[in-house]
Structure 1
Amino acid sequence: MATKSFHTDFIFNKKSAQNLAKAIESSKPVKIEVNKHSKTIRDKDTIRAIMSSLADK
């Protein structure tokens, strides 16, 4: 099986720092929406039961 290895050196200099600053300034906040139903569980016994059922899989 053949594999390829890639190695890239990144040099952080004045120009790249300015470009990074510009990118950060022009970036927009991302709004993430979760479309899954969730339920808050605070009972420790329920949490333990859920975690042990996941560990058995």
Structure 2
Amino acid sequence: MWEDFAIDVNNEMKKRNSYSHLVEDYEEQTRKVSECSKESDNSKATHLSNKISPQSSKSFN
């Protein structure tokens, strides 16, 4: 009885460990995508702020 339980637990742990590298890969990819989207948002904001800079408003005077 206890031996069967120990074998089941051991098999379950082996199965979970076999998937852990997939979880880590997924988390790393998600983190990279998140960082890229933040950089993209920052570059868009910089581009817009350059369009609305005080230098460009001088041409309207």
Question: Normalised by the size of structure 2, how large is the TM-score?
Answer: 0.27
Which structure's CA Rg is the greater one?
A: 2
Q: Which has the higher helix share?
A: 2
Structure possessing the higher relative contact order (Cα contacts under 8 Å, 6 or more residues apart): 1
